[in-house]
Protein backbone atom coordinates (compact mmCIF):
# COMPACT_ATOMS: atom_id res chain seq x y z
CA UNK A 1 0.00 0.00 0.00
CA UNK A 2 1.41 3.37 -0.99
CA UNK A 3 0.27 6.85 0.03
CA UNK A 4 1.82 8.36 -3.08
CA UNK A 5 3.29 6.52 -6.00
CA UNK A 6 6.64 7.78 -7.33
CA UNK A 7 7.20 6.55 -10.89
CA UNK A 8 10.50 4.70 -11.38
CA UNK A 9 10.83 6.30 -14.84
CA UNK A 10 10.33 9.85 -16.18
CA UNK A 11 6.61 10.80 -16.32
CA UNK A 12 6.31 10.59 -20.10
CA UNK A 13 4.04 8.31 -22.13
CA UNK A 14 5.97 5.10 -22.88
CA UNK A 15 6.11 3.59 -26.36
CA UNK A 16 6.20 -0.07 -27.25
CA UNK A 17 9.44 -1.56 -28.53
CA UNK A 18 7.27 -3.31 -31.12
CA UNK A 19 6.21 0.09 -32.52
CA UNK A 20 9.87 1.06 -32.90
CA UNK A 21 10.75 -2.22 -34.61
CA UNK A 22 7.84 -1.71 -36.99
CA UNK A 23 9.47 1.42 -38.43
CA UNK A 24 10.68 0.34 -41.90
CA UNK A 25 12.97 3.34 -42.17
CA UNK A 26 15.08 2.14 -39.24
CA UNK A 27 15.56 -1.51 -40.13
CA UNK A 28 15.92 -2.61 -36.50
CA UNK A 29 15.98 -6.32 -35.61
CA UNK A 30 15.46 -7.89 -32.20
CA UNK A 31 17.96 -10.64 -31.47
CA UNK A 32 16.89 -11.83 -28.04
CA UNK A 33 14.81 -10.93 -25.02
CA UNK A 34 11.08 -10.95 -24.18
CA UNK A 35 8.47 -10.17 -26.86
CA UNK A 36 8.76 -6.59 -28.12
CA UNK A 37 5.06 -5.98 -27.49
CA UNK A 38 5.69 -6.50 -23.75
CA UNK A 39 8.57 -3.99 -23.60
CA UNK A 40 7.96 -0.27 -23.08
CA UNK A 41 10.50 2.48 -23.69
CA UNK A 42 10.57 5.87 -21.98
CA UNK A 43 13.44 7.38 -23.94
CA UNK A 44 16.66 6.76 -25.82
CA UNK A 45 20.24 7.34 -24.62
CA UNK A 46 23.58 6.83 -26.34
CA UNK A 47 26.61 5.88 -24.23
CA UNK A 48 29.96 4.21 -24.78
CA UNK A 49 30.70 3.99 -21.05
CA UNK A 50 31.67 0.58 -19.75
CA UNK A 51 29.37 1.26 -16.78
CA UNK A 52 26.29 3.20 -17.95
CA UNK A 53 24.48 2.79 -14.61
CA UNK A 54 25.11 6.36 -13.29
CA UNK A 55 23.73 7.91 -16.49
CA UNK A 56 20.41 6.07 -16.79
CA UNK A 57 17.09 7.16 -15.28
CA UNK A 58 15.30 3.92 -16.12
CA UNK A 59 13.17 2.84 -19.04
CA UNK A 60 15.66 3.88 -21.76
CA UNK A 61 16.71 2.18 -24.94
CA UNK A 62 20.49 2.31 -24.48
CA UNK A 63 22.37 2.65 -27.78
CA UNK A 64 26.03 1.63 -28.11
CA UNK A 65 28.49 0.76 -30.86
CA UNK A 66 30.65 -1.31 -28.48
CA UNK A 67 33.57 1.15 -28.39
CA UNK A 68 33.94 0.42 -24.68
CA UNK A 69 34.42 -3.35 -25.16
CA UNK A 70 38.07 -4.32 -24.47
CA UNK A 71 39.83 -6.55 -26.98
CA UNK A 72 40.34 -9.28 -24.39
CA UNK A 73 36.63 -9.56 -23.78
CA UNK A 74 36.09 -11.64 -26.86
CA UNK A 75 37.41 -14.72 -25.10
CA UNK A 76 35.21 -14.51 -22.00
CA UNK A 77 31.77 -13.52 -20.83
CA UNK A 78 32.41 -11.87 -17.46
CA UNK A 79 32.69 -8.37 -19.00
CA UNK A 80 29.37 -8.71 -20.81
CA UNK A 81 27.67 -10.19 -17.74
CA UNK A 82 28.78 -7.21 -15.66
CA UNK A 83 27.84 -4.73 -18.40
CA UNK A 84 24.34 -6.12 -18.97
CA UNK A 85 23.80 -6.60 -15.23
CA UNK A 86 24.48 -2.90 -14.62
CA UNK A 87 22.02 -1.90 -17.37
CA UNK A 88 19.31 -4.08 -15.85
CA UNK A 89 20.09 -2.76 -12.36
CA UNK A 90 19.65 0.82 -13.64
CA UNK A 91 16.26 -0.08 -15.08
CA UNK A 92 17.26 0.00 -18.74
CA UNK A 93 14.43 -1.18 -20.99
CA UNK A 94 16.47 -2.50 -23.94
CA UNK A 95 19.93 -2.42 -25.52
CA UNK A 96 20.51 -1.34 -29.12
CA UNK A 97 23.84 -2.44 -30.60
CA UNK A 98 25.22 -0.79 -33.73
CA UNK A 99 27.17 -3.22 -35.90
CA UNK A 100 29.30 -0.50 -37.48
CA UNK A 101 31.91 0.86 -37.47
CA UNK A 102 33.59 -0.98 -34.55
CA UNK A 103 32.01 -4.45 -34.77
CA UNK A 104 30.82 -6.30 -37.85
CA UNK A 105 28.39 -8.43 -35.83
CA UNK A 106 26.84 -8.41 -32.40
CA UNK A 107 29.21 -10.27 -30.02
CA UNK A 108 27.82 -13.69 -29.14
CA UNK A 109 28.79 -13.22 -25.48
CA UNK A 110 26.64 -10.06 -25.39
CA UNK A 111 23.71 -11.97 -26.87
CA UNK A 112 24.14 -14.69 -24.22
CA UNK A 113 24.32 -12.14 -21.40
CA UNK A 114 21.17 -10.32 -22.60
CA UNK A 115 19.36 -13.64 -22.89
CA UNK A 116 20.42 -14.60 -19.37
CA UNK A 117 19.23 -11.29 -17.87
CA UNK A 118 16.08 -11.08 -19.99
CA UNK A 119 17.20 -7.76 -21.55
CA UNK A 120 15.87 -7.12 -25.08
CA UNK A 121 18.77 -6.81 -27.53
CA UNK A 122 18.21 -4.98 -30.81
CA UNK A 123 20.61 -4.89 -33.76
CA UNK A 124 21.02 -1.47 -35.38
CA UNK A 125 22.14 -1.86 -38.98
CA UNK A 126 24.99 0.28 -40.41
CA UNK A 127 22.76 2.65 -42.42
CA UNK A 128 20.74 3.62 -39.33
CA UNK A 129 22.17 6.36 -37.12
CA UNK A 130 21.65 6.44 -33.37
CA UNK A 131 20.23 9.95 -33.68
CA UNK A 132 17.68 8.57 -36.15
CA UNK A 133 16.63 5.92 -33.63
CA UNK A 134 16.39 8.49 -30.85
CA UNK A 135 14.34 10.80 -33.07
CA UNK A 136 11.96 7.95 -33.88
CA UNK A 137 11.52 7.24 -30.16
CA UNK A 138 10.66 10.88 -29.43
CA UNK A 139 8.26 10.99 -32.39
CA UNK A 140 6.44 7.93 -31.08
CA UNK A 141 6.36 9.46 -27.60
CA UNK A 142 4.91 12.69 -29.00
CA UNK A 143 2.20 10.71 -30.76
CA UNK A 144 1.50 8.84 -27.52
CA UNK A 145 1.31 12.15 -25.62
CA UNK A 146 -1.22 13.57 -28.10
CA UNK A 147 -3.31 10.40 -27.86
CA UNK A 148 -3.15 10.60 -24.06
CA UNK A 149 -4.22 14.26 -24.03
CA UNK A 150 -7.14 13.50 -26.37
CA UNK A 151 -8.21 10.62 -24.13
CA UNK A 152 -8.02 12.78 -21.01
CA UNK A 153 -9.89 15.64 -22.69
CA UNK A 154 -12.67 13.34 -23.87
CA UNK A 155 -12.89 11.79 -20.41
CA UNK A 156 -13.11 15.23 -18.75
CA UNK A 157 -15.93 16.27 -21.05
CA UNK A 158 -17.77 13.02 -20.44
CA UNK A 159 -17.40 13.29 -16.66
CA UNK A 160 -18.54 16.91 -16.66
CA UNK A 161 -21.60 15.96 -18.71
CA UNK A 162 -22.32 13.11 -16.31
CA UNK A 163 -22.11 15.49 -13.34
CA UNK A 164 -24.85 17.63 -14.86
CA UNK A 165 -27.34 14.77 -15.11
CA UNK A 166 -30.27 14.42 -12.69
CA UNK A 167 -28.40 11.53 -10.99
CA UNK A 168 -24.91 13.05 -10.98
CA UNK A 169 -23.07 10.76 -8.55
CA UNK A 170 -24.06 7.41 -10.17
CA UNK A 171 -23.54 8.96 -13.61
CA UNK A 172 -19.98 10.07 -12.79
CA UNK A 173 -19.16 6.65 -11.34
CA UNK A 174 -20.55 4.86 -14.41
CA UNK A 175 -18.57 7.10 -16.77
CA UNK A 176 -15.36 6.67 -14.74
CA UNK A 177 -15.73 2.89 -14.53
CA UNK A 178 -16.30 2.72 -18.27
CA UNK A 179 -13.22 4.83 -19.02
CA UNK A 180 -10.97 2.74 -16.79
CA UNK A 181 -12.65 -0.56 -17.71
CA UNK A 182 -12.93 -1.36 -14.03
CA UNK A 183 -14.89 -0.57 -10.88
CA UNK A 184 -15.65 2.83 -9.29
CA UNK A 185 -17.10 3.06 -5.77
CA UNK A 186 -18.18 5.99 -3.60
CA UNK A 187 -17.69 5.30 0.10
CA UNK A 188 -19.44 7.37 2.73
CA UNK A 189 -18.77 7.91 6.43
CA UNK A 190 -17.57 4.80 8.27
CA UNK A 191 -16.63 3.23 4.94
CA UNK A 192 -20.22 2.58 3.85
CA UNK A 193 -20.56 1.83 0.14
CA UNK A 194 -23.01 4.45 -1.14
CA UNK A 195 -22.90 3.87 -4.88
CA UNK A 196 -20.85 1.80 -7.33
CA UNK A 197 -20.55 1.14 -11.04
CA UNK A 198 -18.60 -1.13 -13.37
CA UNK A 199 -17.55 -4.74 -13.26
CA UNK A 200 -17.87 -6.42 -9.89
CA UNK A 201 -14.40 -7.52 -8.67
CA UNK A 202 -13.64 -10.59 -6.62
CA UNK A 203 -14.03 -10.68 -2.85
CA UNK A 204 -10.30 -10.16 -2.24
CA UNK A 205 -10.17 -7.04 -4.42
CA UNK A 206 -13.41 -5.68 -2.99
CA UNK A 207 -12.15 -6.01 0.58
CA UNK A 208 -8.76 -4.50 -0.31
CA UNK A 209 -10.40 -1.50 -1.99
CA UNK A 210 -12.61 -0.86 1.05
CA UNK A 211 -9.55 -1.09 3.31
CA UNK A 212 -7.66 1.35 1.07
CA UNK A 213 -10.59 3.79 1.30
CA UNK A 214 -10.50 3.62 5.10
CA UNK A 215 -6.74 4.13 4.98
CA UNK A 216 -6.89 7.56 3.26
CA UNK A 217 -9.46 8.88 5.71
CA UNK A 218 -7.00 8.56 8.57
CA UNK A 219 -3.77 9.72 6.92
CA UNK A 220 -2.35 13.02 5.71
CA UNK A 221 -2.17 11.95 2.08
CA UNK A 222 -5.43 12.33 0.17
CA UNK A 223 -4.60 9.45 -2.22
CA UNK A 224 -3.32 5.91 -1.87
CA UNK A 225 -2.60 3.06 -4.29
CA UNK A 226 -2.14 -0.70 -4.07
CA UNK A 227 -2.12 -3.79 -6.28
CA UNK A 228 -4.09 -6.87 -5.29
CA UNK A 229 -4.57 -10.02 -7.39
CA UNK A 230 -3.22 -8.22 -10.45
CA UNK A 231 -5.74 -5.37 -10.07
CA UNK A 232 -4.62 -1.76 -9.63
CA UNK A 233 -6.39 -0.03 -6.74
CA UNK A 234 -6.57 3.68 -5.94
CA UNK A 235 -8.46 5.71 -3.33
CA UNK A 236 -9.10 9.46 -3.32
CA UNK A 237 -10.35 11.35 -0.25
CA UNK A 238 -13.04 13.85 -1.29
CA UNK A 239 -12.97 17.34 0.16
CA UNK A 240 -11.39 18.57 3.36
CA UNK A 241 -13.79 16.63 5.60
CA UNK A 242 -12.70 13.23 4.19
CA UNK A 243 -16.14 11.81 4.93
CA UNK A 244 -16.41 10.53 1.35
CA UNK A 245 -13.84 8.50 -0.60
CA UNK A 246 -13.66 7.50 -4.25
CA UNK A 247 -12.30 3.98 -4.78
CA UNK A 248 -11.13 2.72 -8.18
CA UNK A 249 -10.18 -0.83 -9.21
CA UNK A 250 -8.85 -1.40 -12.74
CA UNK A 251 -7.29 -4.50 -14.34
CA UNK A 252 -4.54 -2.38 -15.90
CA UNK A 253 -3.10 1.12 -15.57
CA UNK A 254 -2.50 3.39 -18.55
CA UNK A 255 -1.07 6.86 -18.90
CA UNK A 256 -3.67 9.41 -17.90
CA UNK A 257 -5.74 7.10 -15.69
CA UNK A 258 -4.70 8.96 -12.54
CA UNK A 259 -5.61 12.30 -14.14
CA UNK A 260 -9.01 11.01 -15.22
CA UNK A 261 -9.74 9.59 -11.76
CA UNK A 262 -8.62 12.88 -10.18
CA UNK A 263 -11.10 14.82 -12.33
CA UNK A 264 -13.86 12.48 -11.16
CA UNK A 265 -12.72 12.98 -7.55
CA UNK A 266 -12.97 16.77 -7.92
CA UNK A 267 -16.48 16.53 -9.36
CA UNK A 268 -17.58 14.12 -6.65
CA UNK A 269 -16.05 16.42 -4.01
CA UNK A 270 -18.26 19.23 -5.26
CA UNK A 271 -21.33 17.00 -5.40
CA UNK A 272 -20.83 15.42 -1.99
CA UNK A 273 -19.81 18.76 -0.47
CA UNK A 274 -23.10 20.33 -1.50
CA UNK A 275 -24.95 17.25 -0.27
CA UNK A 276 -23.34 17.59 3.15
CA UNK A 277 -23.88 21.30 3.63
CA UNK A 278 -27.26 21.59 1.99
CA UNK A 279 -26.22 24.76 0.18
CA UNK A 280 -26.65 23.15 -3.22
CA UNK A 281 -30.22 22.14 -2.41
CA UNK A 282 -30.94 25.60 -1.01
CA UNK A 283 -29.70 27.34 -4.16
CA UNK A 284 -31.70 24.95 -6.30
CA UNK A 285 -34.79 25.70 -4.23
CA UNK A 286 -34.18 29.44 -4.63
CA UNK A 287 -33.93 29.09 -8.40
CA UNK A 288 -37.14 27.05 -8.61
CA UNK A 289 -39.02 29.57 -6.49
CA UNK A 290 -37.83 32.45 -8.65
CA UNK A 291 -38.93 30.64 -11.81
CA UNK A 292 -42.31 29.98 -10.28
CA UNK A 293 -42.84 33.63 -9.47
CA UNK A 294 -41.58 34.11 -5.93
CA UNK A 295 -40.11 37.49 -5.02
CA UNK A 296 -36.42 38.15 -4.52
CA UNK A 297 -37.00 38.94 -0.85
CA UNK A 298 -38.41 35.43 -0.33
CA UNK A 299 -35.58 33.51 -1.98
CA UNK A 300 -32.66 35.62 -0.73
CA UNK A 301 -32.40 33.83 2.67
CA UNK A 302 -31.93 30.52 0.84
CA UNK A 303 -28.80 31.84 -0.88
CA UNK A 304 -26.78 32.40 2.27
CA UNK A 305 -26.78 34.77 5.19
CA UNK A 306 -25.42 38.28 5.41
CA UNK A 307 -25.61 41.28 7.60
CA UNK A 308 -28.92 43.08 7.51
CA UNK A 309 -31.02 45.87 8.92
CA UNK A 310 -33.54 43.99 10.99
CA UNK A 311 -34.95 41.23 8.83
CA UNK A 312 -33.52 42.64 5.57
CA UNK A 313 -30.30 41.05 4.32
CA UNK A 314 -28.12 43.34 2.21
CA UNK A 315 -26.02 42.27 -0.75
CA UNK A 316 -23.28 43.53 -3.02
CA UNK A 317 -23.25 43.00 -6.78
CA UNK A 318 -19.71 42.75 -8.16
CA UNK A 319 -18.81 43.03 -11.83
CA UNK A 320 -15.32 41.78 -12.71
CA UNK A 321 -13.29 41.61 -15.86
CA UNK A 322 -9.92 39.85 -16.31
CA UNK A 323 -6.94 41.84 -17.49
CA UNK A 324 -6.44 39.54 -20.47
CA UNK A 325 -8.62 37.09 -22.34
CA UNK A 326 -12.10 35.87 -21.57
CA UNK A 327 -12.88 34.44 -18.12
CA UNK A 328 -13.52 30.70 -17.95
CA UNK A 329 -15.64 28.79 -15.46
CA UNK A 330 -12.65 27.83 -13.29
CA UNK A 331 -11.27 31.38 -12.93
CA UNK A 332 -14.77 32.75 -12.35
CA UNK A 333 -15.42 30.22 -9.59
CA UNK A 334 -12.05 31.02 -8.04
CA UNK A 335 -12.94 34.72 -7.97
CA UNK A 336 -16.30 33.93 -6.36
CA UNK A 337 -14.57 31.82 -3.72
CA UNK A 338 -12.16 34.67 -2.99
CA UNK A 339 -15.10 37.05 -2.61
CA UNK A 340 -16.87 34.59 -0.32
CA UNK A 341 -19.79 33.62 -2.54
CA UNK A 342 -20.64 30.70 -4.85
CA UNK A 343 -23.25 32.82 -6.68
CA UNK A 344 -21.24 33.47 -9.84
CA UNK A 345 -22.36 34.24 -13.38
CA UNK A 346 -19.68 34.10 -16.08
CA UNK A 347 -21.28 35.50 -19.23
CA UNK A 348 -19.20 36.95 -22.05
CA UNK A 349 -16.19 38.94 -20.88
CA UNK A 350 -17.68 40.00 -17.52
CA UNK A 351 -18.14 37.91 -14.37
CA UNK A 352 -20.94 38.89 -11.99
CA UNK A 353 -20.92 37.83 -8.35
CA UNK A 354 -23.73 38.26 -5.82
CA UNK A 355 -22.14 38.60 -2.36
CA UNK A 356 -23.89 38.83 1.03
CA UNK A 357 -22.77 42.06 2.69
CA UNK A 358 -21.78 40.20 5.84
CA UNK A 359 -19.04 38.32 3.97
CA UNK A 360 -17.13 41.42 2.89
CA UNK A 361 -13.67 41.41 4.51
CA UNK A 362 -12.19 44.44 6.19
CA UNK A 363 -10.74 47.18 3.99
CA UNK A 364 -7.16 46.65 2.96
CA UNK A 365 -7.58 42.97 2.09
CA UNK A 366 -7.76 41.43 -1.35
CA UNK A 367 -9.72 40.95 -3.51
CA UNK A 368 -12.02 43.69 -2.23
CA UNK A 369 -9.22 46.20 -2.74
CA UNK A 370 -8.25 44.75 -6.11
CA UNK A 371 -7.80 41.12 -7.16
CA UNK A 372 -4.60 40.38 -9.12
CA UNK A 373 -5.45 40.16 -12.80
CA UNK A 374 -9.02 41.46 -12.32
CA UNK A 375 -10.74 44.84 -12.55
CA UNK A 376 -13.71 45.11 -10.17
CA UNK A 377 -16.79 47.29 -9.94
CA UNK A 378 -18.80 47.00 -6.70
CA UNK A 379 -22.32 48.22 -6.05
CA UNK A 380 -23.68 49.76 -2.86
CA UNK A 381 -25.10 47.25 -0.33
CA UNK A 382 -28.76 46.77 -1.24
CA UNK A 383 -31.79 44.75 -0.22
CA UNK A 384 -32.84 41.90 -2.55
CA UNK A 385 -35.57 44.06 -4.10
CA UNK A 386 -32.83 46.40 -5.36
CA UNK A 387 -30.62 43.78 -7.03
CA UNK A 388 -31.32 45.09 -10.58
CA UNK A 389 -30.34 48.62 -9.55
CA UNK A 390 -27.19 47.28 -7.87
CA UNK A 391 -26.35 45.37 -11.05
CA UNK A 392 -26.42 48.64 -12.98
CA UNK A 393 -24.32 50.32 -10.30
CA UNK A 394 -21.67 47.60 -10.50
CA UNK A 395 -21.60 47.81 -14.31
CA UNK A 396 -21.01 51.58 -14.19
CA UNK A 397 -18.36 51.15 -11.49
CA UNK A 398 -16.54 48.56 -13.61
CA UNK A 399 -16.63 50.83 -16.66
CA UNK A 400 -15.13 53.65 -14.62
CA UNK A 401 -12.49 51.36 -13.10
CA UNK A 402 -11.37 50.27 -16.56
CA UNK A 403 -11.35 53.84 -17.83
CA UNK A 404 -9.21 55.19 -15.00
CA UNK A 405 -7.13 51.99 -14.88
CA UNK A 406 -7.96 51.34 -11.24
CA UNK A 407 -8.16 47.78 -9.86
CA UNK A 408 -11.48 48.52 -8.12
CA UNK A 409 -14.16 51.22 -8.08
CA UNK A 410 -17.09 51.25 -5.65
CA UNK A 411 -20.44 52.86 -6.20
CA UNK A 412 -20.69 55.80 -3.81
CA UNK A 413 -23.88 55.67 -1.73
CA UNK A 414 -24.74 58.96 -0.05
CA UNK A 415 -27.69 61.43 -0.09
CA UNK A 416 -27.62 63.57 -3.24
CA UNK A 417 -29.44 66.60 -4.63
CA UNK A 418 -31.22 64.27 -7.08
CA UNK A 419 -32.91 62.51 -4.16
CA UNK A 420 -35.04 65.63 -3.61
CA UNK A 421 -36.96 64.95 -6.83
CA UNK A 422 -39.52 62.13 -6.71
CA UNK A 423 -38.38 59.14 -8.76
CA UNK A 424 -41.45 59.17 -11.02
CA UNK A 425 -41.07 62.82 -11.91
CA UNK A 426 -37.32 62.42 -12.45
CA UNK A 427 -37.88 59.50 -14.81
CA UNK A 428 -40.55 61.37 -16.79
CA UNK A 429 -38.24 64.38 -17.14
CA UNK A 430 -35.39 62.11 -18.25
CA UNK A 431 -37.45 60.39 -20.92
CA UNK A 432 -38.66 63.67 -22.33
CA UNK A 433 -35.22 65.29 -22.36
CA UNK A 434 -33.43 62.27 -23.85
CA UNK A 435 -36.17 61.22 -26.29
CA UNK A 436 -34.17 62.34 -29.38
CA UNK A 437 -31.44 59.75 -28.61
CA UNK A 438 -33.65 57.15 -26.92
CA UNK A 439 -33.99 55.04 -30.06
CA UNK A 440 -30.22 54.48 -30.26
CA UNK A 441 -28.96 52.85 -27.01
CA UNK A 442 -25.31 53.28 -28.08
CA UNK A 443 -25.71 57.06 -28.06
CA UNK A 444 -27.09 57.19 -24.50
CA UNK A 445 -24.43 54.72 -23.31
CA UNK A 446 -21.63 56.77 -24.89
CA UNK A 447 -22.97 60.05 -23.52
CA UNK A 448 -23.26 58.56 -20.02
CA UNK A 449 -19.66 57.25 -20.09
CA UNK A 450 -18.30 60.47 -21.62
CA UNK A 451 -19.97 62.65 -18.96
CA UNK A 452 -18.88 60.36 -16.12
CA UNK A 453 -15.28 60.66 -17.31
CA UNK A 454 -15.35 64.45 -17.55
CA UNK A 455 -15.37 64.57 -21.33
CA UNK A 456 -12.24 62.45 -21.83
CA UNK A 457 -12.25 60.92 -25.31
CA UNK A 458 -9.51 58.40 -24.59
CA UNK A 459 -10.93 57.12 -21.29
CA UNK A 460 -14.40 56.83 -22.77
CA UNK A 461 -12.99 54.84 -25.67
CA UNK A 462 -11.30 52.46 -23.22
CA UNK A 463 -14.45 52.11 -21.11
CA UNK A 464 -16.61 51.27 -24.15
CA UNK A 465 -13.95 49.27 -26.03
CA UNK A 466 -14.35 51.45 -29.14
CA UNK A 467 -12.08 53.82 -31.07
CA UNK A 468 -11.77 57.39 -29.80
CA UNK A 469 -13.07 58.68 -33.16
CA UNK A 470 -16.22 56.62 -32.63
CA UNK A 471 -16.69 58.38 -29.28
CA UNK A 472 -16.28 61.79 -30.92
CA UNK A 473 -18.80 60.93 -33.63
CA UNK A 474 -21.38 59.64 -31.14
CA UNK A 475 -21.05 62.62 -28.79
CA UNK A 476 -21.34 65.03 -31.72
CA UNK A 477 -24.45 63.16 -32.86
CA UNK A 478 -25.92 63.47 -29.34
CA UNK A 479 -25.25 67.21 -29.32
CA UNK A 480 -26.97 67.60 -32.68
CA UNK A 481 -30.04 65.52 -31.81
CA UNK A 482 -30.46 67.11 -28.38
CA UNK A 483 -29.71 70.59 -29.76
CA UNK A 484 -27.48 71.11 -26.73
CA UNK A 485 -24.14 72.77 -26.07
CA UNK A 486 -22.18 70.03 -24.37
CA UNK A 487 -19.46 72.47 -23.36
CA UNK A 488 -21.93 74.18 -21.01
CA UNK A 489 -21.55 72.72 -17.47
CA UNK A 490 -25.22 73.37 -16.71
CA UNK A 491 -26.25 71.36 -19.77
CA UNK A 492 -23.90 68.56 -18.78
CA UNK A 493 -25.31 68.51 -15.25
CA UNK A 494 -28.91 68.31 -16.49
CA UNK A 495 -28.08 65.55 -18.95
CA UNK A 496 -26.24 63.60 -16.25
CA UNK A 497 -29.21 63.92 -13.95
CA UNK A 498 -31.49 62.60 -16.73
CA UNK A 499 -29.20 59.71 -17.63
CA UNK A 500 -29.12 58.55 -14.01
CA UNK A 501 -32.91 58.23 -13.98
CA UNK A 502 -33.46 56.85 -17.47
Question: How far is residue 253's CA from residue 264's CA, in Å, rounded to a whole number?
Answer: 16
Is 330 a residue whose pLDDT tops 80?
no
Give mean pLDDT, residues 325-337: 69
The confidence score (pLDDT) of residue 17 equals 95
**pLDDT higher than threshold 80 for residue 43:** yes
What CA–CA distance (Å, rounded) separates 94 from 87? 9
In the predicted model, what is the mean pLDDT of residues 172-180? 91
Q: Confirm if 234 and 247 have CB atoms less than 8 A apart.
A: yes
Which pTM value belongs to this model? 0.46
SS3 call for 354:
strand
Q: How far is Cα 203 from Cα 443, in angstroms, rounded to an integer?
A: 73
* SS3 call for 443: helix
Pairing of strands 350-356, 344-347: antiparallel
Rounded average pLDDT over 402-426: 72
Other C-beta atoms closer than 10 Å to the C-beta of 216 total 23
Q: Which residues contact 73 (CB under 8 A, 6 or more apart)?
A: 79, 80, 107, 109
> Would you state the pLDDT for residue 375?
87
Q: How far is CA 428 from CA 150, 299, 455, 483, in A?
A: 59, 32, 26, 19
pLDDT digits (tens, 9 = 90+) for 439-484: 888 998 999 999 988 889 999 998 888 999 999 999 999 999 999 8
Question: Which pLDDT belongs to residue 418?
Answer: 57
Q: Which alpha helices (H) appear in 197-295, and where do they start and end?
A: 203-217, 257-277, 279-291
Q: What is the mean pLDDT of residues 393-401?
A: 87
Residues 357-379 pLDDT 10s: 765 544 444 455 556 678 889 99
Of 205-214, 259-268, 409-418, which range is least confident? Answer: 409-418
For the chain, give the mean pLDDT: 82
The answer to whether residues 336 and 283 touch, using CB atoms and an 8 Å cutoff, is no
pLDDT per residue over 244-278, tens digit each?
Answer: 889 999 988 777 788 888 888 888 887 776 444 44
Confidence at 13, pLDDT banded by 50, 70, 90:
confident
Residue 370: predicted pLDDT: 54
160 CB burial (10 A radius; 0-12, 13-18, 19+): middle
The answer to whether the CB of 182 falls within 8 A of the CB of 249 is: yes
Domains of the chain: 15-140 (3.40.1390.20), 164-277 (3.30.450.30), 304-410 (no CATH), 417-501 (1.10.10.2840)
Which CA distances in Å does 327 have to 18, 159, 349, 396, 397? 45, 22, 6, 19, 19
| Low-confidence winner among 28-42, 129-143, 270-284 (lowest mean pLDDT) | 270-284
Q: Are 187 and 217 in contact (CB under 8 A)?
A: no
| Predicted local distance difference test score (pLDDT) of residue 474 | 92
Amino acid sequence: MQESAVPPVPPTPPVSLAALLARDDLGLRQITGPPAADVTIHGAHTSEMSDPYPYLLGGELLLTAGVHIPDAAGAGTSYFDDYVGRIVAAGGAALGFGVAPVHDTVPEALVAACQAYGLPLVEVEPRTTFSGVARAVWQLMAQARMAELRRISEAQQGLAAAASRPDPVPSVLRRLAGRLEGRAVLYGPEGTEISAAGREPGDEVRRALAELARFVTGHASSTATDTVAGTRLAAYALGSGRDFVLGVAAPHRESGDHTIASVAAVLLSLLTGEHQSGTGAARSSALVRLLLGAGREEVAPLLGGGEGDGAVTRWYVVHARPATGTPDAVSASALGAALGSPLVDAAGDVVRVLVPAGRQPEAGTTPWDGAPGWTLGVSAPVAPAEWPAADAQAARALARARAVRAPLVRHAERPAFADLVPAGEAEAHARALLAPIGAVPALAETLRAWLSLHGSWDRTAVALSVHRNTVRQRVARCAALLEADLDDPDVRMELWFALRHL
